[in-house]
Amino acid sequence: MTHAKTSFLRPAAACLAAALLAAAGCGGDDDGSNGANAADSAGYRVELTDQQPAATKPVDSITWALPYGEPVTIDPIQAGDYAPDFMVSQMCDFLLRFNPKWELEPGLAESWDQPDDRTLVFKIRKGVKFWDGRPMTVDDVVYSLKRNLDEDAGSLTAPYFANVESMEASGPSEVTVRFKQPDELFLKEMAAGPGAVVQRDFTEKAGSKIGTAQGGVMCTGPYEFESWKPGAEIKLAKNDDYWDPDLQPKIANVTVRFLSETTTLTSALVSGEVAGAYGIPATSIPALQRAGSGTLYYGPSTQQLGIYTARPEGLMADERVRKALSLAIDRQAIAEKAYSGAAIPNEAVVSNTREQEAKDVYAEGWKQLPSIDYDLDAAKKQLDGVTGLDKPIVIAAPAGDQATLDVATLVQNAGKQIGLNVKIQALQPLDLSNFYYKPEYRKGFDGVLSVSFSDHPDPLNFLPYVIPLDAYFNYSGWDSPKAVRAMDEGRRTLDADARAKLLLQAIQLEADDRVTIPLLGLANISFISNDIGGAPTSFAYLWMPDFAYMGGK
């Protein structure tokens, strides 16, 4: 299903396992994949890896698995979930790029300059061609950026352009963006879907079919859209005229299969039928640990699991109840047993990443957040004076996903220990999708168990979608003008330390009321064939042309 950019609240379809999983081994193999490319473990019991060692050999073809199911689109401005974002990133170049450590690098813009705090100037790379051989122009770049503001075209990315005053060509190879007020977030978004460039003529001619199986897309990326068989697969072919000499594709042809059923996915990986997949379900870890066909990798990630309050009335509307349930949940036990060490307790509505921890102001800020330590006595005290505890607390969870239902059961049992009547209601995919966007579908629900993620570690990529009263995913009606002011001022603040202090204010206010019950920060779990090298393994993979990094060992 598609969700608005940066909130990405989806069912926790690939993350949670029964409580008795065997402990996971560290990612990597004997080629040193956990050496130069190893990341700080940041509290995880598994070793985190940013990327495999570089690939060296050409490969004729591979089949790759997409565990999140079929993408609803490959149009960059409509891509707002795992599957569409992944496919867009293989085909469409962005103005800038993230590397596996989320560091900004040049993309279709070979450089950028900020002459003042309200102006960005991008120098557009010359000699870039679309797949049909036509040269990319600054007109294509400006057109693509302005599409983000086109609600009629189904744009999900408009919030990133809220502070933009104008976007115009200021030279034959230059685009200037002017802002109504400073905006520190905008530049980072140019390394994700909002910064994608499509061909204007092709896109306008395709009309409403752009991004569909029938209409396709026309981009400049290392892999060309070849075909899309609905319900089954998308085929890509390497772009022989790709502009970047460092990412000339080594794999000639890629078939991406939609394998969302866990047993089928695991079997295909174990047998070698598919060469790999990102977003491996935790329930698959034991079988994949034993597989000789490939290796499990764990990477830094912005993914997190939490319970999002769904309505302003009922027991969950009482912050004492939310705080009590939070204290009754043993997060460390879930991380150790259900995730085999590939998760850590999470303190707040945004994930606590190693990039944030590296900044002293964030490291200190996380220490000030309300306790999430497992404490049944403290949980019971929170309920002193609360009436109507016999009323049910109904939490939505995705049907058909046993792993998620396992964790939902753990939450239910946690509530029972302190006298809360937590009921889990599994929703079919369409109903769950409607739950996220249509208030009438949330009637009778108190919360939803969900995984969320952001494009990069900057909290501003996520906070605007949960904190303002009219935010996409502020289901509870929580209203904190002070938090909104801190968040908005943070977005206008270009100094990193000053910005962090402001964003921590907003995070603290949300945490003080425990509007969201955070559970876990999740590592990115990948499984890659022993014949393949070069693959990014951090969660930054979602906005990288991954197949262009891969090749034979």
Does 3 map to a domain?
no
- Tokens representing 508 are 């603290």
What is the C-alpha separation between 520 and 344, in angstroms, rounded?
A: 5
Question: Count of domains in the chain?
Answer: 1
Banded model confidence at residue 7, pLDDT cuts 50, 70, 90: very low
For residue 382, CA distances in Å to 124, 367, 375, 389, 479 come to: 57, 21, 11, 12, 22
What single-letter amino acid sits at 139? D
Residues contacting residue 441 through CB under 8 Å, at least 6 positions apart: 431, 434, 435
Question: What percent of the chain clears pLDDT 70, i.e. is strictly above it?
Answer: 92
pLDDT digits (tens, 9 = 90+) for 411-464: 999 999 999 999 999 988 778 878 887 889 999 999 999 888 988 999 998 998
Pick the range with the lowest mean pLDDT from 21-30, 122-131, 175-184, 335-344: 21-30
CATH number at residue 414: 3.10.105.10
What is the C-alpha separation between 146 and 149, in angstroms, rounded?
A: 6
Is 377 or 159 the better-scoring residue by pLDDT? Answer: 377
Mean pLDDT for the stretch of residues 176-200: 97
Q: CB neighbours (10 Å) of residue 73? A: 23
pLDDT at 8 over 60: no
What is the C-alpha separation between 430 and 427, in angstroms, rounded?
A: 8
Q: What is the pLDDT of residue 33?
A: 40
pLDDT at 365 over 70: yes
What is the DSSP secondary structure assignment for residue 410, as one 8-state letter?
H
Cβ neighbourhood burial of 481 (10 Å; 0-12, 13-18, 19+): exposed
pLDDT digits (tens, 9 = 90+) for 455-500: 899 999 899 889 999 888 899 999 999 999 999 999 999 999 999 9
Q: What is the pLDDT of residue 31?
A: 40
Q: What is the pLDDT of residue 39?
A: 66
Does 250 map to a domain?
no
CB 49, CB 297: distance < 8 Å = yes
CB 179, CB 186: distance < 8 Å = yes
pLDDT digits (tens, 9 = 90+) for 230-269: 999 999 999 999 999 999 999 999 999 999 888 999 999 9
What single-letter amino acid sits at 307? I
Does 65 map to a domain?
no
What is the C-alpha separation between 431 and 78, in angstroms, rounded?
A: 20
Pick the range with the lowest mean pLDDT from 73-82, 150-159, 187-196, 199-208: 150-159
What is the C-alpha separation between 72 and 92, in angstroms, rounded?
A: 16
Does 227 map to a domain?
no
CB 365, CB 500: distance < 8 Å = yes
Mean pLDDT for the stretch of residues 38-62: 88
Q: What is the pLDDT of residue 21?
A: 28
What is the C-alpha separation between 7 and 351, in angstroms, rounded?
A: 12
Mean pLDDT for the stretch of residues 357-368: 86
Does 18 map to a domain?
no
Q: What is the pLDDT of residue 37?
A: 56
466: containing domain = 302-523
pLDDT digits (tens, 9 = 90+) for 295-319: 999 999 999 999 999 988 889 999 9
Banded model confidence at residue 69, pLDDT cuts 50, 70, 90: confident
pLDDT at 18 over 60: no
What is the C-alpha separation between 32 and 289, in angstroms, rounded?
A: 18
Does 274 map to a domain?
no
Bridge partners of 233, per DSSP, are 229, 257
Asked whether the CA dihedral 320, 500, 190, 38 is positive or negative, the reply is: negative
What is the C-alpha separation between 285 and 294, in angstroms, rounded?
A: 12
Banded model confidence at residue 92, pLDDT cuts 50, 70, 90: very high
pLDDT digits (tens, 9 = 90+) for 271-293: 999 999 999 988 899 999 999 99
Banded model confidence at residue 3, pLDDT cuts 50, 70, 90: very low
Does 455 map to a domain?
yes
pLDDT at 20 over 50: no
pLDDT digits (tens, 9 = 90+) for 500-522: 999 999 999 999 999 999 999 99
Banded model confidence at residue 153, pLDDT cuts 50, 70, 90: confident
Q: What is the pLDDT of residue 280?
A: 92
Asked whether the CA dihedral 335, 336, 338, 340 is positive or negative, the reply is: positive
Does 343 map to a domain?
yes
pLDDT at 359 over 90: no
Q: If we measure between CA atoms, which residue out of 77, 84, 103, 105 comes closest to residue 2? A: 84
Q: What is the pLDDT of residue 241?
A: 96
What is the DSSP secondary structure assignment for residue 300, as one 8-state letter?
E
CB 546, CB 88: distance < 8 Å = no
What is the C-alpha separation between 422 and 425, in angstroms, rounded?
A: 10
Q: What is the pLDDT of residue 353?
A: 82
Q: What is the pLDDT of residue 356?
A: 81
pLDDT at 5 over 50: no
Q: Helices marked H in 56-124 — which ranges?
A: 82-91
User: What is the pLDDT of the chain when averaged over all its residues?
Assistant: 89
- Tokens representing 322 are 């939310």
Q: What is the pLDDT of residue 402?
A: 66
Banded model confidence at residue 524, pLDDT cuts 50, 70, 90: very high
Q: What is the pLDDT of residue 13?
A: 31
What is the C-alpha separation between 521 and 48, in angstroms, rounded?
A: 13
pLDDT at 151 over 50: yes
